[in-house]
Amino acid sequence: MKRSEFPRIAVFRHIVRDHMEPPPPLVKADTTGAEVLRILRETPSSSVLVHNGDRRPTGIITERDAVRRLTHPASQRAGELANTPLHSVQDSDYLYHAIANMRRRELRHMPVCDADGRVVGILHLHKAMAVAAGRLLHQIDRLTHEESLEGLQHVKEAQVEVAERLFEESVPVPEIQGLLTQVNNDIYRRIVQLVMADMRAGGWGDPPVDFCVIVMGSGGRGESFLFPDQDNGFILEDYPDEQHPRVDRFFIELGERMTRALDDVGITLCRGFVMATNPLWRKSISQWQQQIGGWLKHPGERTLRLSDIFFDFASVSGNATLATRLRDYLTGRVAQHHGFLRQMQAVQADHNVALGLFGRLTPDNSPGPHRGDLNLKYHGLMPLVESTRLMALRHRVAATGTLERLDALLEGGQVDNDEHASLADAFSLLTRIVLRQQIRDFRQARPVTAYVPPSALPLLEKRVLREALRIIAGFKDRVKTEMTGDVF
């Protein structure tokens, strides 16, 4: 079974446009009631949409409305009969959002509009709900809320409950991570929409150039755990230099409002200032390309650290083609700079797995509350993520997720079936142990981290964990050999 087809998760990835039907007939507000009745009788549709002349719907008339409200067909007009205000859904929205909205508003169907507000279809609740098993409806309700910052706070809080339930039902943790990432990215998208609406209301107008919001790190890989902080930036379409003061002023304001709102709902500010409020992470696409070129030509300690943060970026809001163009540029250029990849491997050489002499698990011995615990993020997952990224960059793999990168390396012959299976199993084991501990920490009102007390691991799991870490260490050594031993 493909990861994207896992039934307990797949429903959260469906898009409205893939489940909508052709739109019902459209009529103008001054259409007579008699004409509305004729259309309902002579077409298979159970409703008609009232629009303002350019396919932007303003109301809906169902068969039930016509029977109940139509008393003088010749004189009454469609605008009088329609249900308003009209609730609609965008064709690019997630299906589970539409299901939740219709259930809350007790709507049997909802018009579907494109990004310009023009109707392109209609979504029927009973057909949409057929995609989601009944036991999922509670989770759908928890992961959606009214379009407000307070509502998005409830969504963030619900992630723990949903993750815990899916974990208890033995859903693979990489799938749970994918859902957590998707929900976080959807929060980004909705916050950007709310902030931009507030800015329009405050006289800022529309964005002066096209743009997209990107997330980096685990969010860009689709591998979020509970309560990640912010790692975000902007990619702007190119614009004339003389427009920079006006353009930058707008996106500074947008970045400040967006990051504050994300912090308010529980996606905390980045302590390293990896956010769109920092001009380092807010650039036009040409400026990004120049910056990437500079990093590749001058791979110092700082540029390698910045590259490590940036290379897993993914679009979460706005014009995703900007991110695609930059990803294509990055994938092509990095593979040509073998010296840069060698330097990146050297910087990561000390990121070892938590194994010591004779293959014993080695806990963290630094002073602090987690002394004696295993840091399975930095001494387990990170060596695997970094080594897989290096191999993927070298072989022009555009995917950002660790498992997707391993799949591409298998397909390209860079890893064999046994190594692929072993590394994928190791990744799944480590993520399962970390997520389980995070859920425990949350339930016991402790700080949620990636530290795992050895006492929390059953004896058999310790043995399997040691083997998984040994496999990761072997892969890390092989990548080092390929990066430093080959003659390019």
Architecture of domain 3-136: Roll (3.10)
> Using 50, 70 and 90 to split pLDDT, how confident is the model at 94?
confident
Structure tokens at 443: 């339930």
> Using 50, 70 and 90 to split pLDDT, how confident is the model at 2?
very low
Per-residue pLDDT, 1: 41
Q: Is the pLDDT of residue 487 over 50?
A: no
3-state secondary structure of 145: coil
Question: What number does CATH give the domain 145-321?
Answer: 3.30.460.10
341-485 topology per CATH: Four Helix Bundle (Hemerythrin (Met), subunit A) (1.20.120)
Per-residue pLDDT, 136: 60
Instruction: Tell me the pairing of strands 109-113 and 119-124.
Output: antiparallel
Buried/exposed code over 72-83 (b: 16+ C-beta within 10 A; e: otherwise): eeeebbbbebbe
Per-residue pLDDT, 138: 61
Q: Taken in order 126, 132, 137, 140, is the CA torsion positive or negative?
A: negative
Residues 146/100, Cβ–Cβ less than 8 Å? no
In the numeric block, the tokens 């390396």 are attached to 409
The arithmetic mean of pLDDT across residues 424-430, rounded, is 97
Query: Looking at 105-236, which runs of residues are DSSP E strands?
Result: 109-113, 119-124, 211-215, 232-236
The arithmetic mean of pLDDT across residues 380-392, rounded, is 96
Report CA dihedral (44, 50, 51, 57) to the nearest 10 degrees.
-80
Where is mean pLDDT largest: 28-42, 79-93, 200-214? 200-214
In the numeric block, the tokens 């910056």 are attached to 291
C-alpha gyration radius of the chain: 26
Structure tokens at 277: 């409020």
Per-residue pLDDT, 9: 66
pLDDT in tens, 279-310: 999 999 999 999 999 999 998 889 999 999 99
Q: Where are the domains of the chain?
A: 3-136, 145-321, 341-485
Q: Is the pLDDT of residue 95 over 90?
A: no
- Could you tell me the pTM of the whole model? 0.78
Per-residue pLDDT, 415: 95
Q: Is the pLDDT of residue 139 over 80?
A: no
Q: Is the pLDDT of residue 255 over 70?
A: yes
> Using 50, 70 and 90 to split pLDDT, how confident is the model at 359?
confident
Per-residue pLDDT, 45: 85
> Using 50, 70 and 90 to split pLDDT, how confident is the model at 98?
confident
Q: Is the pLDDT of residue 147 over 70?
A: no
Q: Is the pLDDT of residue 421 over 80?
A: yes
